[in-house]
Amino acid sequence: MVQYNFKKITVVPPGKDFIDIILSRTQRQTPTVVHKGYAISRLRQFYMRKVKYTQQNFHEKLSTIIEEFPRLDDIHPFYGDLLHVLYNKDHYKLALGQVNTARNLISKIAKDYVKLLKYGDSLYRCKSLKVAALGRMCTVIKRIGPSLAYLEQIRQHMARLPSIDPNTRTVLICGYPNVGKSSFINKITRADVDVQPYAFTTKSLFVGHTDYKYLRYQVIDTPGILDRPFEDRNIIEMCSITALAHLRAAVLFFLDVSGSCGYSIAQQAALFHSIKSLFMNKPLIIVCNKTDLQPLEGISEEDMKLVMEMKAEAMKTVLGQGGEPTNDEGVLLTMSTLTEDGVIAVKNAACERLLNQRVEIKMKSKKINDCLNRFHVALPKPRDQKERPPCIPQAVMEARAKEAAEKEKRKTEKDIENENGGAGVYSASLKKHYILSNEEWKEDIMPEILDGHNVADFIDPDILLRLEELEREEGLRQAVEEDDDFEMDGKELTSEEQEALAEIRKKKSLLIQQHRIKKSTAESRPIVPRKFDKNKEFTTKRMGRQLSVLGLDPSLAINRARSRSLSRKGRKRERSPAYDGGDAMDVDVDTPKKKLRARSRSLSLSRSRSRPPSEVTPGEGFKDSAQKVKAIKLGKKSVKMRNKDARRGEADRVIPSLKPKHLFSGKRSIGKTQRR
């Protein structure tokens, strides 16, 4: 994806500074000390290094310049044309070409002089050769100085170009100078374009962004176009023409019906007809601006005829898109940016038409088939022919109607405020709608602090009710306490009563114990294991009887109990996974790869067994059965354990350096160092 952000190009230094930078870098980064007495090869190497280093730096810097500047053929044609209009493609290419030749020349110079340096037999000779080499390289750079200055200027201008994305939803505004294009864009977006009474205030493209139906649209403001033959147009107008020609956008052609821009409707219509070829295949809307000065109905006959002609042209574009031929609302609109009347309507109309066009194109293209398999609209199958419209209760319908009527009649607070003098003059009385038992208390002033206490702490609307409740509670509690005074004393009971009491207590504790046992055993074990049910009390018949006594239908429960019984299933039979749906509580003997097996199994288990594995169901998201089979295979492959036999792992020994310096350098105190 090519970057349309030209702000990241590195600065191009002027020729002299360029030379200074590189030479001082060579002076700092290469060794500087050399003496006459060194070995000749060392001298040669010293100077060759300097020549090479300088050449490399020049090469690097010139290469960054060549690469970072955009190639006019590789970027989107809109930007290519825009840059051509602004900077002249030929000059631009020439400048970059000169930089390229300079790079090659410097490489050649370095190569030649390094070859010559090999024959240098004295320090003086090598030094002179190095000086000659560096001098020649610097002369080459001095010669391309003007190109570098030109490229720097271009870079600065390019960085200020608006970042327009040529592929997204775009609305383009065009028309004569001074018709109100920049005011419109200021109204609907956050772009802050300069608006002045003289023509050609806007000298380049400006972009702003606006939202419609949760989507972002970019709105492009163009400089005004005059009605001239194509060759006579200046650079500013050519910017607009380029934008019109290359961007697939909705076009808003602005018309000034009042003539206050200095051009009559006839001239504007003439411009329209001369550039209407650029509106091909683009949703076109004709916008009549400045209707506060001159409403559309009030213009003269000939002007009206011209406007209708333009509208007819615009209708053709609607027809061309296969739209409704009689829908002419969205083609000719009036508005006034000063009073903001109709601005939003224009924006909505433009966005709507653009969106429809884009959706249509996308539906017709081939790419949609790749997406279609990911959508699946599930509709419930109708089980009978009965119509089931939404049911709105009558009361709600009446309320709605009443509300609608009320809304028109209701007087809002804002209206009252406006009547009484506006925002600063009238302050609404907030206590107007208080609900109080006595109407006269509305305007009373509430104290906040009384006798050192916060009044708010003592306010309670239901205080009387609470008081009553409290009193009632008190009464009850007292009564209860009286009752409680009567204690249960064992001595006052008769023996029978004592017996009965003991029995009751015993039964109660028994019940409690039973309940506890029942709770601890939970559902995992059968409530009554067969070995404790020797009398065969717990049968399905008994359960059925008890359930029917309660009034429930026992047949389902009986069936379930029967199906789960061990005698039917057989005690030692291994539970087959298909029936249980991947129960993780498998009794497993040895599972070396338990986790993985369970995972792959669970995936395979989630697939239905009633269909063949490669059949595609609509809701799954696969294009065709081949893709599904591939996906299944990939899934299985990803779960396989990797074989690491005999390969080096992270813990295996690593030798960081194969020729460590301490073993390969240094002299011996006695003897020779011929082998190490």
Partner 1 sequence: MVSLLSVMLGLPQGDYIELHRKRHGYRHDHFERKRKKEAREVHKRSAIAQKVPPSSPVVHSFGPPGSYVFLLGFDDDYELCIHFRCTLNRCVQALGIKGKMFAKKRYAEKALMKKTLAMHEESTSRRKVDDDVQDGAVPAYLLDRENTTRAKVLSNTIKQKRKEKAGKWDVPLPKVRPVAEDEMFKVMRSGKRRTKQWKRMVTKATFVGPSFTRKPPKYERFIRPSGLRFNKAHVTHPELKATFNLEIIGVKKNPNGPMYTSLGVMTKGTIIEVNVSELGLVTPAGKVVWGKYAQVTNNPENDGCVNAVLLV
- When the beta carbons of 216 and 636 are compared against partner 1, the nearer one is 216
- When the beta carbons of 114 and 244 are compared against partner 1, the nearer one is 114
Q: Give the up-direction half-sphere exposure of residue 81: CA atoms within 13 A in the CB hemisphere.
A: 16
- When the beta carbons of 191 and 315 are compared against partner 1, the nearer one is 191
Query: DSSP readout, 606-630?
Result: HS-SSS-TTPPPTTS--SSHHHHHH
In the bound complex, what is the minimum distance in angstroms from residue 197's beta carbon to partner 1? 14
- When the beta carbons of 118 and 507 are compared against partner 1, the nearer one is 118
Closest CA to 20 of 152, 154, 141, 153: 141
In the bound complex, what is the minimum distance in angstroms from residue 620's beta carbon to partner 1? 32
Q: Does residue 341 sit in helix, strand or coil?
A: strand
In the bound complex, what is the minimum distance in angstroms from residue 260's beta carbon to partner 1? 23
In the bound complex, what is the minimum distance in angstroms from residue 124's beta carbon to partner 1? 7
Q: Long-range pairs for 616-622 at CB < 8 Å and ≥24 separation?
A: 618/376, 619/376, 619/378, 621/373, 621/374, 621/376, 622/373
In the bound complex, what is the minimum distance in angstroms from residue 576's beta carbon to partner 1? 54
Closest CA to 442 of 451, 452, 432, 450: 432
Please give the distance of CA 195 from its chain centroid, rounded to a whole number.
33
- When the beta carbons of 165 and 302 are compared against partner 1, the nearer one is 165
- When the beta carbons of 113 and 150 are compared against partner 1, the nearer one is 113
- When the beta carbons of 7 and 93 are compared against partner 1, the nearer one is 7
Q: Does residue 165 sit in helix, strand or coil?
A: coil
- When the beta carbons of 110 and 310 are compared against partner 1, the nearer one is 110
**Quick one: three-class SS letters along 288-325?**
EECCCCCCHHHCCHHHHHHHHHHHHHHHHHHHHCCCCC
Q: How many Å apart are CA 623 and CA 631, to the nearest integer?
A: 11
Q: Which residues bind partner 1 (CB under 8 A)?
A: 1, 4-5, 7, 20, 24, 27, 112-113, 115-116, 118-119, 121, 124-125, 128-129, 132-133, 160, 162-165, 190-192, 194, 203-204, 206-209, 216, 218
Q: How many Å apart are CA 532 and CA 310, to the nearest integer?
A: 98
Q: Cβ distance 206 to 163 under 8 Å?
A: no
Please give the distance of CA 535 from its chain centroid, rounded to a whole number.
71
- When the beta carbons of 119 and 230 are compared against partner 1, the nearer one is 119
Q: How many Å apart are CA 298 and CA 304, to the nearest integer?
A: 9
In the bound complex, what is the minimum distance in angstroms from residue 161's beta carbon to partner 1? 8
In the bound complex, what is the minimum distance in angstroms from residue 291's beta carbon to partner 1? 28
Angle at 419 between CA 415 and CA 425, to 5 degrees: 105
Please give the distance of CA 127 from its chain centroid, rounded to a whole number.
61
In the bound complex, what is the minimum distance in angstroms from residue 121's beta carbon to partner 1? 6
In the bound complex, what is the minimum distance in angstroms from residue 113's beta carbon to partner 1? 6
